[in-house]
Amino acid sequence: MKNVTALFAIFFLTVCVNYSVFGQDKKTPKEYDSFKEHLFTGGNVGLSIGPITLIEVSPLLGYRFNDYLAAGLGFTYMYYSDNSYKPALSTDIYGGRVFARVYPIEKAFLHVEYEALSLETGALDHYNMHPNTKRYTFTSIFGGGGYREPISDKSYAYIMLLYNFNDALDSPYGNPFVLRAGVEIGF
């Protein structure tokens, strides 16, 4: 939790200190010259080190249909290790996601996402660990909102709070609320 708080504080300071002024020649999506100008990339990374280590890398690729609607897909990889058990528990979690965002105003957005992750049976359940683990797919449906702050004329830093509508016991997320911070870079 300390790492999430530190990440939020760094993001908040970055947003507060970054006051950019942009020219009036900003193109609207209707004026884009090519397919490439509708695309954006980015994603988020996560790191928690201690008795429980979690490393996450989640790149994304999206398409901006207009000023109000964007959609895309992404990949997620997580390394999870818990040294409080003997022998130490570690696993790789990976999968993909599709998402859509609606921007009712320029800096705020609503976000929905479907995610499917490959997990090992018993890997996150310390009481039911088995020597012969098998992989299975865990799906999540997220909904929530976020805030983005311009870094340049085509790049943003964002933070969002999502609710996991499938918060089951074998979920790789600690609770139904997921806080994400990342970047979005336009072409």
Could you tell me the pLDDT band of residue 18, with boundaries at 50, 70 and 90? very low
3-state DSSP percent of the chain in helix, strand and coil, to 5 = 10, 55, 35
Q: From CA 148, how far away is CA 46, in angstroms rounded?
A: 18
**pLDDT in the model for residue 39:** 95
Q: How far apart are CA 7 and CA 4, in angstroms?
A: 5
What are the residues whose beta carbons fall under 8 Å from the beta carbon of 22, sequence distance 6 or more?
Answer: 150, 153
Question: Cis bond leading into 87, ω under 30°?
Answer: yes
**The pLDDT of residue 34:** 83
Confidence of residue 124 (pLDDT cuts 50, 70, 90): low
Sequence-ordered list of residues with C-beta below 8 angstroms from that of 174, at least 6 positions apart, any chain:
none
Single-letter residue type at 116: A
Q: How far does Cα 21 stand from its chain's mean position?
A: 27
- Among the ranges given (24-33, 41-50, 55-64, 110-119), the one the predictor scored with the smallest mean pLDDT: 24-33
What would the mean pLDDT of 42-47 be, rounded to a whole number? 90
Q: Would you give the DSSP letter of residue 30?
A: G
Q: What are 84-102's pLDDT values in tens digits?
A: 777 778 889 999 999 999 9
Its sign, for the CA torsion 96, 143, 7, 104, is positive
Cα-Cα-Cα-Cα dihedral sign, residues 14, 70, 107, 28: positive
The pLDDT of residue 1 is: 46
Say how far apart CA 12 and CA 9 lie, in whole Å: 5
pLDDT band of residue 52 (cuts 50, 70, 90) is confident
- Asked if pLDDT for residue 4 goes beyond 50, the answer is no
Q: What is the pLDDT of residue 60?
A: 96
Judge whether residue 25 has pLDDT over 80: no
CB atoms within 10 A of CB 7: 19
pLDDT reported for residue 8: 46
The CATH class of the 2-186 domain is: mainly beta
Domain ranges of the chain: 2-186
Residue 88, Cβ density class (10 Å: 0-12 exposed, 13-18 middle, ≥19 buried): exposed
